[in-house]
Amino acid sequence: MTDQAGPASTRRINAAARLLGAPDEVMRVLGRLADDQLSNVGDAVRQIQAERAVAMGDLDQIIAQAFETGFGNDGLALLPWIEGTVVVCPGGLIWSSRASHVCRFVNIDDTWVWDSHDLIREDKRSTPGAKDGFRAVALVPALEGMAVDVVSGKARAGQHSVDRVVSYVVKRGELVEVSQRAINRQGMM
């Protein structure tokens, strides 16, 4: 019995290998695609990266470890990091009264991580007691060029303000800081 898909699969793999070895050829081929086709290629690449991120790590273990190490003594989330092929995004909120809190959350490509179409998984836990609030850990694939903003803010008397934003971009599997800025205006991003 012969594998009829074998030669065709081998030809596709060899063609892909030739393209990857010639970035100019890849650009030439992609440059010929219509906008909708190019968008489909981009979506397919993101989907494959997300599937690989899920397959390469024990998400339960990553999230459990993040709940142990992703929050400071003040109870607020620490900065995100890359674990294997995922960006680990701790976030949370601490109430000081019914109308006041401090918080720190992650924004991915101008969308809150919990609303991101790249979100793989998010777990959330209440933190009752002196620092009443909640903590969350979200995982997204570490996609090349992804913008990651860490937004620290507070609410006082029902008015929310942003205090600080630390911005990163994913480059070659690492989070590279691109800016830090203090914000003295009302409202969130």
More confident call, 28 vs 108: 108
Cα–Cα distance between 131 and 127 in angstroms, integer?
A: 7
Residues 69, 161, single domain; the answer is: yes
What pLDDT, on a 0 to 100 scale, did the predictor assign at position 161? 87
Residues 41, 81, single domain; the answer is: no
Mean pLDDT of 109-125: 94
Residue 57: pLDDT above 90?
Answer: no
Residues 50, 67, single domain; the answer is: no
Beta strand 133-141 pairing with 147-156: unpaired
What pLDDT, on a 0 to 100 scale, did the predictor assign at position 181? 86
What pLDDT, on a 0 to 100 scale, did the predictor assign at position 45? 72
In degrees and rounded to multiples of 5, residue 72 shows phi and psi of -80, 175
Most confident of 6-20, 39-53, 167-181: 167-181
Residues 85, 156, single domain; the answer is: yes
Residues 90, 182, single domain; the answer is: yes
Residues 99, 177, single domain; the answer is: yes
What separation, in Å, do the N-terminal and C-terminal C-alpha atoms of the chain show?
61
Mean pLDDT of 55-80: 90
Residues 180, 135, single domain; the answer is: yes
Q: How far is residue 81 from each of residues 13, 64, 120, 130, measured CA to CA in Å?
A: 33, 15, 15, 28
Is residue 14 very low, low, confident or very high in pLDDT (cuts 50, 70, 90)? Answer: low
Domain range spanning residue 12?
A: 5-56
> Which residues in 109-172 belong to E strands, given as ranges?
111-112, 121-126, 133-141, 147-156, 159-171
Residues 122, 50, single domain; the answer is: no
Q: How many domains are there within the chain?
A: 2
